[in-house]
Amino acid sequence: MTDVQADYLKITHPELKQPLIDILGRISQFSHLSEEYLEQLFEYSKFQYMADAERPVQEGMYGQNIYILIQGRLEVSVNTESGDRKQIDVIFKTFSLFGEQCILGEPNSTTVETRGDVLLLAIDMSALPDLLEGWDNPDKRLPDEVYGQSLGMNTIFATVLINRFNRLIKDQYKLVQKLVILHQSREYQTTWKQNVLLTTLFNEFMQNQLLPELEVGIILEQVLADYLPDNEPLEKLIASASLNTETLYMELVRLESLGKIDSLNIILMETIQRLSIKAIELEEYTKGLETESHNLPAIVSLPEYLNQVYDAIISTGILEKELSKNEFLNGFLSELGPDPSLLIGFLREGGWISNQFDMAYVMYLVCQNCIIKENELNLLIAKCVAYLTVLNTPRQNIQLAQLKRIEAEQEISKELIELYESCGNDESEKVKERAPEASPQNNVEDLLSEFGL
């Protein structure tokens, strides 16, 4: 294990510990992690410079590292039946995470190859004890305390993957709205301006920023009238003088997962449509905009994911006593979304799991199901985006908030490069900041930005 760790930053440059932890805490993907988890990331991290045409991830091979892109560009490809390689994606967004397949202990399904000089932060998972080997062969398990690091790392990446997945789900809602509006318009003559209102209202609903004049509480009482008599927590949320729609969304997620409401998708879209009727009367929302009713087709949902994780945990047989779905959701969901750290404390304090190994395996299941559902979600979004790009429809510009986010990410990237330079690496000049390159492929996050998402 010493040889594996020889190039870790904790060995080569221990003085970078606090600067790197501070920087990681400012990156959106890691901002929800505690100081303790950020310190653990440092323990297994190393800078990795790669020249043109190198492959940090190779299809069919077992990966060892999870990578964070600091600077540069990579192409993602797969082998075709004819033996050729087909490019399917481009990774150039700062702080993109890839290589997470190594968590599952499965061969890589794609190849990731550098295009030009690239700087990565590599987080080595191979130094951890083999959790899956211990699961398949209980007699070969190590002492339980050895799996504490596995639990920590799996929790870190469960948190990162869930937050990314949750953001994609919300982007999916907005993207499908646009697609449905195009289908319902005459000969696709509807302009993108029609849907700006709906997108704005959706964003404000998810961020608890709706104007009081919209009377969202009254609208929610109407939309949820059939469910309120049997759901006291939901009724209290709506009746609250300080109604928080972000918190309300997570309560609706919980209720759909329990089967107590029929369709969160329909509820959300009906709410947004009714809000648009009120918003059309307000100048803040309606300058030059038109609205049109629509329905939402089947999509990938957060309750689907929660149900799969619950079923997977129950099926393992590792729980020391019965766990109802309602208890599971109460222990997993915070007001902002699923929280793996919250689930760990809940299962431990409630007496469902008492050892590190089983808890680490639960976090593995959280990661595994997130990766599976995100793959489904990316395929759905990619198909929608591919269809939209065929239509010769004007796109919205990237919003000001997104531009500010990009500027902030570029500043953090510079700081990471400066840390890399401080290590005395000759390649540091090759990874200086460059202008973002346009992707020839349907990079999901990039195209969603172009569509104003």
User: Taking the chain, what is the end-to-end CA distance rounded to the nearest angstrom?
Assistant: 45
Q: What is the pLDDT of residues 390-445, one digit of tens each?
A: 554 444 444 555 666 778 888 898 899 889 988 887 776 666 655 444 444 444 45
Q: Which domains does the chain have, with CATH numbers?
A: 4-127+399-450 (2.60.120.10)
Q: Which residues of the chain have pLDDT under 50?
A: 1-2, 186-193, 290-296, 392-398, 435-444, 447-448, 450-453
Q: Taking phi first (over 0 means left), then psi (-120 to 50 degrees means alpha), and beta for anything else, what does residue 53 get?
A: left
What CA–CA distance (Å, rounded) separates 172 from 451?
12
* Side chain identity at residue 444, one-letter code: V
* Side chain identity at residue 435, one-letter code: A
Q: Which residues lie across from 111 on neighbouring strands?
A: 77
What CA–CA distance (Å, rounded) separates 415 from 396?
31
What CA–CA distance (Å, rounded) separates 293 from 181?
8
Sequence-separated (6 or more) residues with CB below 8 Å from residue 390: none
Look at the pTM and tell me if it is higher than 0.95.
Answer: no
**Which of the 8 DSSP states describes residue 127?**
T
For residue 303, CA distances in Å to 223, 236, 270, 332, 375 come to 19, 22, 18, 12, 16
**Which of the 8 DSSP states describes residue 333?**
B
Q: Where are the alpha helices (DSSP H) in 35-80?
A: 35-43
Q: What is the pLDDT of residues 84-142, one digit of tens each?
A: 888 988 999 899 999 999 999 999 999 999 999 999 999 999 989 999 999 999 999 99
pLDDT of residue 438: 42
What CA–CA distance (Å, rounded) separates 173 from 295?
11
pLDDT of residue 184: 63
pLDDT of residue 40: 94
Report which of 271, 369, 354 is spatially closest to residue 312, judged by C-alpha positions: 369
pLDDT of residue 446: 52
What is the chain's alpha carbon radius of gyration, rounded to the nearest angstrom? Answer: 23
pLDDT of residue 20: 95
The distance from CA 256 to its chain's CA centroid, rounded to whole angstroms, is 20
pLDDT of residue 384: 76
| Secondary structure class of 90 (helix, strand, coil) | strand
Task: Give residue for tokens 């030009």.
Answer: 116
What CA–CA distance (Å, rounded) separates 309 from 316?
11
